[in-house]
Structure formats: C-alpha cells, structure tokens
Amino acid sequence: VSFPWQKREISNFDYLMYLNTLAGRSYNDYMQYPVFPWVLADYHSETLNLTNSNTFRDLSKPMGAQTVERKRKFIQRFNEVEKNLSAKCHYCTHYSSAIIVASYLVRMEPFTQTFCSLQGGSFDVADRMFHSVKSTWESASRDNMSDVRELIPEFFYLPEFLTNANHFEFGSMQDGTVLGDVQLPPWADGDPHKFIQLHRQALESDYVSAHLHHWIDLIFGHKQHGSAAVEAVNTYHPYFYGDKTDLNNIKDPLIKSTILGFISNFGQIPKQV
C-alpha cells in the first residue's frame, strides 16, 4: 500500500504535523508541543546547497549521536550508569520541553511571559538565551552534553519569532553583544523571511524526503524505546516516557509529584504511533 506522503501528495511539513497530532502533541500544551527535526547542518555557508548531502543533519541519528565523539560519550554514560543516576539511559534531558518551546519563542507574547514564569520571574542569563541559529545547532548537536533539543514547527513558517519586534531587554552577552534579533546563518542574508523560505525548502528537499522516515522511527516509531532505542543511542530518562510510568500505582505522593514535575519541566516522549 502506498500512502499519500510516500506519493508526495502531502508535504513533509504536513506529514510531521499529522504525526505529532496522532501522537497527542498540540500547540495547546507546552509540555507536549509539536516536535520537528533539525534538518540542516550548514549554518556557515554564504549560499545553501540543497543538492549536497553534507548540507544536512543525519536524520537516522538522534541529536545526541550527531558526532562520533558525542555518541561515544553518551554510550559510555549509558554503560557506566553512575550510582546517583536512578536509571540507565543515554540522555537525562529531552529534545522537547516547555522551556525549550518558550525559549525559542521568547521574543513573542504570550511566550515571553511563559518563559519568565518558567525561569522564576525573569529572563535567563543572556548567554543562555536563544540568540543564534548556528550556536544553538552547535550546542544541541556537538558541544553541550545536556542539550539534545530538536526544533518546533515555527522554524519552518514563522519569521516573526526571529525578531525582537517588542524590544524586550534581554541584556548583553559576555562578549558585549546586546541580545536583540536572532542571529541568522550567512545564507539568510540577515532576512528572517529568507531564512524561513530556505529552511522550508530544506525540509521539503529530496534529501529530507528520502531520509525523514529514519527520524520518525526515532521520535514516533519503533526506535523510541526498548532494545531498538538502545541500539540507536536513543534512550531517555524513564520519567520522560509518560505512558510507561503508571502514576496510578505510585502510592507515595512525594514521588508522584516529583515525577509529574519532572515531566512538566523536562519533556515527554510522544505517544508511539
């Protein structure tokens, strides 16, 4: 049987939105917000070449395994399981959570207020705020062992979230840069509309169309948990698997509220589709 998506009758964007909806994810819930993949790995070139496979992120691997060195470290963590970690997993942080969503959209209301309330009433330290697409990619794919975040749908259709039209004062970074609009890759020519247009083209490109099913397996499919997830270096803290943690059987109210707090702050694995 050939499905509409395989026949290219619906776009990759629409298919991902459909899967997110099936998996119980919605714009109405920051904790289960639609999750979209990083599709590019090139945030430094003057022009974007969508016919070169090196332009793209490896969709068959989770964000924690995008480089050989990083993958090795996470496998090592899984195998060692330090005494203070209550569970055997590759990642103790998640690829989608309320704070990740709010941090991406912090330049727009009502997300500005949401971000501040999640942060305890104020903006974060400027260096930790979402300020550059390139540095966020480098953090999530290579540099920061506690950062494995993916993207949200807005990266593919909403230029407004990249500009500080409300002139919020986010402060200055350590190097003196005042935080304002999000810094875009050179190929976007400083134009949020061009960034969104090219980023959407990348999502709908032949390369992504041919490899997107691998990412879908990791997030929504059979590599989401169990032995296939271990093999794919794709296991998260057990609390992130909301439907696998039967809260009804947990009698201790403190443990129960800890787990609920954990899920609401740090994210939740989508329902398996």
> Is 105 a member of any domain?
yes
Helix extents (H) in 81-151: 98-104, 111-118, 133-138
> Is 133 a member of any domain?
yes
CATH assignment at residue 238 = 1.10.1540.10
> Is 272 a member of any domain?
no
pLDDT, position 163: 98
Q: Is the pLDDT of residue 41 over 80?
A: yes
Express as a percent the part of the chain with pLDDT over 90: 74
Residues 6+ apart with CB under 8 A from 211: 56, 59, 60
Q: What is the Cα–Cα distance from 112 to 197, expressed in whole angstroms? A: 25
CA distances from 57 to 50, 66, 184 (A): 12, 8, 17
Helix extents (H) in 23-153: 68-80, 98-104, 111-118, 133-138
> Is 224 a member of any domain?
yes
> Is 112 a member of any domain?
yes
> Is 245 a member of any domain?
yes
**Tens digit of pLDDT for each residue in 89-115?**
999 889 999 999 999 999 999 999 999
> Measured on CA atoms in the order 135, 140, 141, 142, is the torsion positive or negative?
positive
CA distances from 193 to 161, 196, 252 (A): 11, 5, 51
Tokens of 142: 């290579």
> Is 273 a member of any domain?
no
**Tens digit of pLDDT for each residue in 112-125?**
999 999 888 888 88
Predicted model pTM: 0.91
Residue 71 domain boundaries: 3-266
What average pLDDT does the chain have? 91
Q: What is the Cα–Cα distance from 242 to 150, expressed in whole angstroms? A: 19
Q: What is the Cα–Cα distance from 6 to 176, expressed in whole angstroms? A: 49
How many domains does one find in the chain? 1
> Is 271 a member of any domain?
no
pLDDT, position 26: 96
Judge whether 166 and 105 are in contact, CB under 8 Å.
Answer: no
Tokens of 123: 């903006």
Tokens of 118: 């999640």
Residue that wins the pLDDT comparison between 6 and 221:
221
pLDDT, position 80: 84
